[in-house]
C-alpha cells in the first residue's frame, strides 16, 4: 500500500444530519452470490483491548437494538448525492449486510440506495473500530463508514470518516478524514492510501480507526496510513460519544454523477463491525 499525503483541508458548510426512520427488511436471493470471497481478516482481539460491541450480521433481520435503517433523501454530509435511502434496499444473507444502489425514480430522486446507523441505539467514546467491507466499483459511487458526534444544540458535532471511496478515477484510493465545526462551517483534514497493483473493490478489506483522547489513527488491513493529533481545546468534541453510519451514496460533488460505464445494481457488502475498547 502506498501512503498519500494530506489530501484536503478547508472550511465548508455546516452539515445537517437527517433522522433515521424505522427499519424494514426485504429479502434478496442473489446478493451474496455476487460478493467475491477473499481479502484480509482482522484478529478477534488486540493486545490491550477487549471486544466491547460487534455485529457479525448472522441474523435474518437487522438487529434493531444496534441499528436503524434510513428512509429519506441523501444526507447533507454526502455533498449533494442523488439517491433516496430506503430500507427496502438493504438485505442480510449468508452473514453479510448488503446495501444496494440502482437507478430508480423515487420521491423526486433518480437513484435508490440504503444506509444504516447506530444513532439512538449504540454510541462509543474512544476505542478501535474495524469494519470489514467489499466496496463496489463504478463512477459516481460513494461508499462510506463514518462516526458522527452527539451533542446538544448543534446540527454538526464533528465527524470521523473511517472510510470513503469516490468511484471513478479516485476508486483506487481510500480516504480518511477528520471534520469539526469552525467559524460557522466545517474544518476538515485527511489523507488517503492506495493499492499499488489492485483496486479496493477486488476483495474485502478491513477499514479501521483507533480513537484515543489525544489522537486518531486510520488503518486499512491493519496498516497505518494517517494520524491526527487531538491536542488543544478545539478538539473537545472528540472526547464525547459518537455513533456509526454506513452508507452507499450515488453521485454528489465529490465523485460526480454515474455515467454509462457505471454498472448497476451496485452493492456495498459488510462482513462485520467490531468495536474494541480498553478494559
Structural domains for the chain:
60-277 (2.60.120.200)
pLDDT digits (tens, 9 = 90+) for 195-231: 877 889 989 999 999 999 999 999 999 999 999 999 9
Task: Please say whether the beta carbons of 174 and 163 come within 8 A.
Answer: yes
Predicted pLDDT of residue 171 = 66
Task: Print burial letters for 223-257: b (CB count within 10 Å at least 16), e (below 16).
Answer: eebbebebeeeebebbeeebbbbbbbbbbbebbbb
Q: Give the integer Cα–Cα distance in Å for 115 and 136.
A: 15
Least Cα distance to 168 among 27, 279, 266 occurs for 266
Residue ranges of the chain whose pLDDT lies below 70: 1-37, 78, 153-154, 169-171
Torsion, Cα of 249, 251, 252, 255 (10° steps): 100
Predicted pLDDT of residue 153 = 63
Predicted pLDDT of residue 25 = 28
Size (the chain), residues: 279
Spell out the residues 6+ positions from residue 80 whose beta carbon is closer than 8 angstroms to its own: 74, 251, 252, 253
Q: Give the integer Cα–Cα distance in Å for 167 and 142.
A: 6
Predicted pLDDT of residue 18 = 21
What pTM does this model have? 0.86
| Cell numbers that stand for 9 in this block | 483541508
What are the Cα distances from residue 8, in Å, to 83, 143, 187, 254? 25, 18, 10, 12
Q: Give the integer Cα–Cα distance in Å for 192 and 253.
A: 18
Predicted pLDDT of residue 20 = 24
According to DSSP, residue 137 is labeled P
Predicted pLDDT of residue 11 = 35
Least Cα distance to 245 among 107, 152, 109, 129 occurs for 129
Spell out the residues 6+ positions from residue 198 whose beta carbon is closer than 8 angstroms to its own: none
Q: Give the integer Cα–Cα distance in Å for 83 and 235.
A: 32
Q: Give the integer Cα–Cα distance in Å for 126 and 4.
A: 25
- Report which secondary-structure segment, H or E, holds 182: strand 173-182
Predicted pLDDT of residue 85 = 97
Amino acid at each position: 500500500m502506498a501512503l498519500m499525503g494530506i489530501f484536503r483541508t478547508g472550511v465548508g458548510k455546516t452539515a445537517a444530519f437527517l433522522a433515521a426512520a424505522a427499519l424494514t427488511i426485504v429479502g434478496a436471493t442473489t446478493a451474496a452470490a455476487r460478493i467475491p470471497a477473499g481479502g484480509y481478516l482482522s484478529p478477534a482481539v488486540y493486545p490491550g483491548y477487549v471486544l466491547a460491541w460487534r455485529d457479525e450480521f448472522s441474523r435474518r433481520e437487522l438487529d434493531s437494538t444496534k441499528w436503524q435503517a434510513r428512509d429519506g433523501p441523501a444526507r447533507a454530509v454526502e455533498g449533494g448525492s442523488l439517491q433516496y435511502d430506503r430500507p427496502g434496499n438493504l438485505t442480510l444473507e449468508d452473514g453479510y449486510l448488503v446495501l444496494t444502489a440502482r437507478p430508480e425514480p423515487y420521491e423526486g430522486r433518480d437513484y435508490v440506495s440504503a444506509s444504516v446507523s447506530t444513532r439512538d441505539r449504540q454510541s462509543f467514546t474512544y476505542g478501535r473500530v474495524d469494519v470489514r467491507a467489499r466496496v463496489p466499483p463504478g463512477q459516481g459511487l460513494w461508499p462510506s463508514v463514518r462516526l458522527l458526534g452527539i451533542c446538544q444544540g448543534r446540527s454538526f458535532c464533528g465527524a470521523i470518516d473511517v472510510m470513503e471511496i469516490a468511484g471513478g478515477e479516485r476508486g483506487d484510493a481510500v480516504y480518511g478524514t477528520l471534520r469539526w465545526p469552525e467559524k460557522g462551517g466545517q474544518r476538515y483534514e485527511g489523507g488517503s492510501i492506495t493499492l499499488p497493483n489492485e483496486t479496493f473493490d477486488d476483495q474485502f478489506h478491513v477499514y479501521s480507526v483507533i480513537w484515543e483522547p489525544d489522537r486518531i489513527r486510520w488503518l486499512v488491513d491493519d496498516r497505518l496510513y494517517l494520524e491526527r493529533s487531538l491536542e488543544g481545546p478545539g478538539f473537545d468534541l472528540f472526547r464525547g460519544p459518537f455513533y456509526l453510519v454506513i452508507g452507499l451514496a450515488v453521485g454528489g460533488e465529490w465523485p460526480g454523477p454515474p455515467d454509462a460505464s457505471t454498472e448497476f445494481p451496485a452493492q456495498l457488502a459488510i462482513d462485520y463491525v467490531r468495536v474494541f475498547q480498553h478494559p
